[in-house]
Amino acid sequence: MILAIEGLEFAYPSRPIIRDITFSISKGDLLAVLGINGAGKSTLLKCINRILKPQMGTVHIQGDDASKLSRRELAKRIGYVAQYHQNGRITVFDAVLLGRRPYIQWDVSSRDLKIVHSVLQTLKLDDYALRYVDELSGGEQQKVMIARALAQKPQLLLLDEPTSSLDLKNQLDVARLIKKIVQKEQLAAIVAMHDLNLAMRFANRFMLLKEGTIFAAGGLEVMNQENIENVYSVPVRIEQFGDVPVVIPA
């Protein structure tokens, strides 16, 4: 078990955001967290990563209580790719090297450099190593942010809408990349996203959030017409194209 969450709740003074969130994921799981804007997807990821402090509930990462881990130790276990990120005047190599910060004591080691080179090769970014991040396309920048998270050598990846601002080709490229990494490295990943069809194509587990709670969770069977219509308040049909189910607004 990579991650186990029980009874997680978070609220701002004005309103509750998530409540009674309980689930777990294991190695090789790619969990798509779905729901309308404001359902609590991003807040859930931030509570797992301790960017936000939940008022109730527990988060266990590899059996350890996340609230009792140091920030450095947590960063060794969880790689986080935010929905929005600012890219200053920094090279791709240096941006990915930042992922090694939890491990660096006095100076960058040969192991740190080796890991960065390996990650760049895995994501086919080695030819971009000396280019500046702010000169890259949106899809290339997103891959750099994923590379930085992978350089942390985490057991859990958290990705907040990693394909939302990308064109169709780059959406597919990034989704394929995430799935490949999860399977090859035997990590677990939680991806907050809006695109139901992209989720159904690449994820193996699904969580539908409604008004801050889990409306349905499980395998592909939960992505049915009734659940989707209840969560999104839109009539839909689900058609099968080859091996891939597709949601079509009715």
Flag whether 211 is in a domain: yes
Q: For residue 198, tell me if it sits in a domain.
A: yes
Let me know if residue 94 belongs to a domain: no
- Whole-model pTM over 0.85: yes
What does the pLDDT average to over 87-95? Answer: 87
Give domain status of residue 52, yes or no. yes
Over the stretch 13-49, which tens digit does the pLDDT of each residue have?
Answer: 888 999 999 999 999 999 999 999 999 999 999 999 9
Q: Domain limits at 49?
A: 3-87+156-249
Q: What is the CATH number of the domain that holds 45?
A: 3.40.50.300
* Cross-strand partners of 101: none
Domain count, the chain: 1
Question: Which of 36-50, 61-75, 77-91, 143-157 bottoms out in mean pLDDT, i.e. has the lowest?
Answer: 77-91
Residue 129 lies in a domain: no
Residue 132 lies in a domain: no
pLDDT class of 87 with cuts at 50, 70, 90: low
147, part of any domain: no
- For 101-124, what is each residue's pLDDT tens digit? 998 877 888 999 999 999 999 888
